[in-house]
Structure 1
């Protein structure tokens, strides 16, 4: 498996969890401390930190520690990678659907002759 595929696998695995998606959605508004990010969730801070580590490990976020406060920041370049992959998939499937549509139209015209 190449590095590109491994990166995408890690990103999609991270995004598969609703808690991590909520964290990403919140970080889309700007940096936040781990404590602030954890507030909406009914889990202990060590459990929440597992989600933060997963997101950081996949490269979707990075953290910075200032004194006792750990701040999370979204890494936009990883989302550009996902966007590029989705565009490739969209192009591929649109072409397939166009061919299927052409085949169906041709078959329908032939059957009405």
Structure 2
């Protein structure tokens, strides 16, 4: 497993972060909107968003009208890499289970 997949899985291990990812799948959100939707204080949400940014799962932008506002959106790379890794693991286990089935049925 690559280090980037490790970072992705570590970031997604937290249920609050998974909820943020679910919300960001719908559309970009401001940090305050995410905190309200998840039920966290702004400092707690900031820590979770920092972990998601460090894992490369989200990116932050600032609207032209106010540089203090932070808008977050998903980045596709880490999830695509995780999906590819899971597809390889799935293919491996399908092969293993097919071999087991053939062995059991042949006995």
Matched, 1:27 2:35: no
What are the ranges of 5 or more consecutive residues in structure 2 without an aligned counterpart? none
Matched, 1:48 2:49: no
What are the ranges of 5 or more consecutive residues in structure 1 without an aligned counterpart? 108-113
Taking only aligned residues, the RMSD between alpha carbons, in angstroms, comes to: 1.1
Q: Cα distance, 1:43 vs. partner?
A: 2.8
Matched, 1:93 2:93: yes
d(CA) in 2 for partners of 1:28 and 1:44? Answer: 21
Q: Deviations over 1:32-55 (max 9, x none)?
A: 100111102333211111100000
Give the equivalent residue in structure 1 for 2:106: 106
Q: TM-score, normalised by structure 2?
A: 0.92
Deviates more, 1:82-91 or 1:4-13: 4-13
d(CA) in 1 for partners of 2:51 and 2:9? Answer: 11
Question: Is this contact kept in 1: 2:20–2:38, CA < 8 A?
Answer: no
Q: TM-score, normalised by structure 1?
A: 0.87
- After TM superposition, which residue ranges in structure 1, 4 or more long, deviate above 3 angstroms? none
In our comparison, the structure showing a higher alpha carbon Rg is 1
User: What is the count of residue pairs matched by the alignment?
Assistant: 104
